[in-house]
Amino acid sequence: MAINYYTEEGLKRLKDELSQLKRVERPRISNQIAEARDKGDLSENAEYDAAKEAQGLLEMKISKMETAVSEARLLDTSLVDNSKVMVLSTVTIRNVANKAEMKYTLVSETEADLKSGKISVNSPIGKGLVGKSVGDKAEIQVPSGIMTFEIVEITI
């Protein structure tokens, strides 16, 4: 069993997507199969084959999401220590080379979204920041080489 940690928002989004697949997508594909079956000979019916394949893919996705929900654990923000960088920490870092500041929230891989400032704790930057305190410097191997960041602020 692979436990995945989620924020409240991330777990809600996962459950909502699963519900959408079960309530909307599953009946839609069932209707497509029924319509294709009504058209006659199934051995030469491309619509039927496509709908059955789509159903198989949907059921596999639903199964994986159900497993993810059953193995999900909600992260409790009240237990997060903001003296060190850890999962759920929002970290302001400064690139030592160009003085540019960035703010990231460290989340699980499944919730990572760079556009909204959420990076995975398993990403190179996330791994390099975990365990650091304000004022610490982190040398992180990125594709372009080694970058040095200074921890400016840690919040929840």
DSSP state of 25: I
When the pLDDT of each residue in the chain is averaged and rounded to a whole number, the result is 88
The residue type found at 150 is: E
Q: Which residue has the higher pLDDT, 37 or 134?
A: 134
CATH architecture classification, 4-74: Orthogonal Bundle (1.10)
Cα 11 from Cα 6, distance rounded (Å)? 6
| Three-state DSSP state, 142 | strand
Q: Give me the half-sphere count of Cα atoms (radius 13 Å) on the Cβ side of residue 139.
A: 2
Tokens of 137: 């410097």
Q: Looking at residues 25-29, what average pLDDT do you find?
A: 94
What local confidence, expressed as pLDDT, does residue 1 receive? 55
Q: Which contacts (CB < 8 Å, 24+ apart) does range 94-100 have?
A: 94/149, 94/150, 94/152, 95/147, 95/148, 95/149, 96/137, 96/148, 96/149, 96/150, 97/147, 97/148
Q: Determine what percent of the chain falls in helix, strand and coil, rounding each to the nearest 5.
A: 45, 25, 25
Specify the CATH number of the domain 77-155: 3.10.50.30
Domain ranges of the chain: 4-74, 77-155
What local confidence, expressed as pLDDT, does residue 87 receive? 83
Residue 68's pLDDT band, with cuts at 50, 70 and 90, is confident
